[in-house]
Structure 1
Amino acid sequence: MSSVFLAKKQKIVDHLNQPVDEYSDLSPKGSIDQGIRILIDEINQLQGLVTTSSCAGRISAFLEGRKKSSPAQDSAPRDAPHEQQSIAGPGGKGGGQWLFVSHDAVELPSDVTENYFSTLFGLRGEAEAVQRAKHQAGRRYVHLKFEAMILHLLTASLDDAQKVLSAALQAGFRESGAVGLTANADGSVTPMVAVRSIGLAFDAVVGYEDEDGKMVAVVSEPYLRSLVELANERFAVNTERIARFRSHLLEQYCQNGKQSKNKKGADWEDAAARRERKRAEGLKLQQAKAKEQRTSESNDDVALDAVFD
């Protein structure tokens, strides 16, 4: 195993093992999502793998970054916050602002106040907003998005990368892929694998920023609730896929016939151990059948001898 890979893995693991009050990263929340922390720890205990970034899946309300064509850009005060001064690309995503982020399903109270979801996502609900929200060049829009789990793993070899991709595809993360398939300077190949699925994702424009910097809703409250319900359904599917990915991956890395417990508490075996067990059971069955046949033939001989005696 490459010394370069081992050094990178040790550095990453040491960072992840910091006390909670000292740990931080570049994600919006600055820490690992609790819904995926156990999986991250399990992966990092496997030889040949280390996680470099992760997200358990999320629903978010996001204000686009200020576009290059925005007339308000030149008039922005010099002491404005960094995210208000940054220039975004054509899609308006760069330098945007998170209005709401949740890595868990959103609670749906039975009794909600008017504009509950608008307020939750930082929007000001107005009945006339849809009619007068004509597109304008440079306008910043608010998106309500759902994104499934994404993992980036540095692998120690092509074989390790193949195991991760195999587990990901079997679990339903069908847009997974790998880069860095050529040799490094020291001759080692350490692919970076992305485990992801865009099939569950959605992105809906639900508002915009007006001239006063306020977020105005352009969809109704019932529509926002419908989007949240859809996101919650996809959180459930995402959770199932994460569990399948974990099971397939650990199965491939389980060595020497060691067994683990699945989510129902039953023992499961890695592929090599299962093949060996099946082979042994097959041989045992063949031997039992052969013994039974010999016994039967022996009994037949005795019976015939008794008849002709």
Structure 2
Amino acid sequence: MSDGFLSRKKAILIALNSDTPDKSPKGYVDEPLLPLIILINNHKDYVTTSSCSGRICTYLEGMDESSSSTSSPQDDRNDSSTQELDDDATQVSKGYEENTSLAAVEAAKRAKGGQWLYVSHDPVDFPTERGRDLEKQWIINTLFGPEAHRVVTMEESILSGVDTQTEVMTKSQLVYFKFEPMILHIEAATPMAAKSFLNHSLFSGYRNSGILPSAKRTMLAIRSTLKIDAPVAYIPTGVPSSSTTTAASGTGAETPDPKIHLMVSLQYLRMLIELSNDKFRMNVAQMSRFEQRLKEHLLQNDSTDGSEKKKMGDQGEWEDKEARKERKRKEGLEKQELAAKVKAEAEARHAAEQQNSEAQPDATATQQ
């Protein structure tokens, strides 16, 4: 365990226990994740660096060239790490994005700025009032938040003659509906500790988890497949934003923001919300199972006295080298004792059978 890991963990734990807001816009750890985070951080080999318990959100990607020096809008996920960790995570993310051309295109778009229109870390409650018009307005107001006044339904777009060809949509500024399940970023003290944690994560259903490549430290990303990421609206290509047109005119007068055109029906948006609510419940259940597994297997034998981290035994228990050696020695002795007992019983039976066979001729002779 390096001094660097210990110092980083100490700094992170101090930040988590302070009243100072963390780097996320929310400013604090998601409450459903607190038991899991405390459990992990109490282990000497691990510390959480960022987290999110799960969320439903809509995101307007950025396309403004003038903001190319800025990053995408700050992620609404708790980040208790240092700036050095943030920079490292950014480089890791870029490395993954470069693996596919589509990911590279999406990354390039997001690098030009964007806007979170709606974020909820809880399932969405539908209104109790019924009515087509009421539900329509509720869905638009909920998912598009401050930009709801700019939204045009798919039917209205068709009637107004807006170009709705797929080619036009894909080249436009898009709005995405997202459900994102729990995610944890964890620094491990050693590669062996990271591998152990990863094994339990995969077993608990977090199939998208992995050890992130980093030359400075051993980082883990714990993620599941409970995800929705669907484009639902667009701003037609070539429509300038209000900031651009205002600067160009030089008059200082603001022009109306371009319309956001839905590319799906309101019924489809409602279905996405309902699916996300279902995935929220699955996400919470998965988190509970994960926490229980960590308690039963990975963390049950943890101690804070600096003793060596135990390794996986043949039956799933955790033990260090000496404990494994002692267990194997005991198992060997037990096998020897069992073999000796079986051999002794076999010899006793053989002796008894031989004695009986020798006694039978004597009995015959006596009768004659």
* TM-score normalised by structure 2 residue count: 0.59
Counterpart residue number, 1:235 = 280
TM-superposition CA deviations, 1:34-68 (whole Å, max 9, x none): 12121111110001100111111111011111343
1:204 matched to 2:249? The reply is no
Q: Residue 2 and residue 92 in structure 1: after superposition, are their counterparts in 2 closer, same or farther (change >3 A)? A: closer
Is residue 106 from structure 1 mapped to residue 124 from structure 2 by the alignment? yes
Amino acid at match of 2:129: D
Listed as ranges, the gaps of 5+ residues in structure 1 are 74-81, 185-189, 258-268, 305-309
Matches within 5 A, 1:58-97: 58-68=55-65, 90-92=108-110, 94-97=112-115
2:263 aligned partner: 218
Matches within 5 A, 1:97-246: 97-112=115-130, 113-115=134-136, 116-122=138-144, 123=148, 124-131=151-158, 132=162, 134=164, 135=168, 139-170=172-203, 171-180=205-214, 190-197=217-224, 199-209=225-235, 212-213=256-257, 214-246=259-291
C-alpha distance 31-133 of structure 1, shift in aligned 2 (>3 A): farther
Give 1:133 shift: 5.2
Residue 240 (structure 1) shift: 2.7
Among all aligned residue pairs of Structure 1 and Structure 2, give the percentage whose two residues are the same amino acid. 35
Where structure 2 has 5 or more consecutive residues not aligned to the other structure, the ranges are 74-105, 242-255, 304-315, 357-368
* 1:264 equivalent in structure 2: none
Q: How many residues matched?
A: 273
Instruction: Give 1:25's aligned residue.
Output: 22
Residues 121-147 of structure 1, C-alpha deviations (whole Å, 9 max, x = no match): 123353534532532797432211111
SS in 2 for 1:106: coil
Larger radius of gyration: 2
Q: For residue 263 of structure 1, what is the aligned residue in structure 2?
A: none
- Cα distance in 2 for residues equivalent to 1:130 and 1:16: 48
8 Å Cα contact 2:60-2:117 kept in structure 1: yes
Question: Which one is further off, 218-227 or 200-209?
Answer: 200-209
Distance in 1 (CA, whole Å) between partners of 2:156 and 2:127 is 26
List per-residue Cα deviations over 1:209-245 (Å, max 9, x = no partner): 4763254433222111100111112222222332233
For 2:199 and 2:42, how far apart are their aligned partners in 1?
19
1:62-103 C-alpha deviation (Å, 9 max, x unpaired): 111134399xx9xxxxxxxx97xxxx9533465211111011
Instruction: Provide closer, same or farther for how the CA distance between residues 173 and 104 of structure 1 changes in structure 2, counting only shifts above 3 A.
Output: farther
Question: Partner residue of 1:247?
Answer: 292
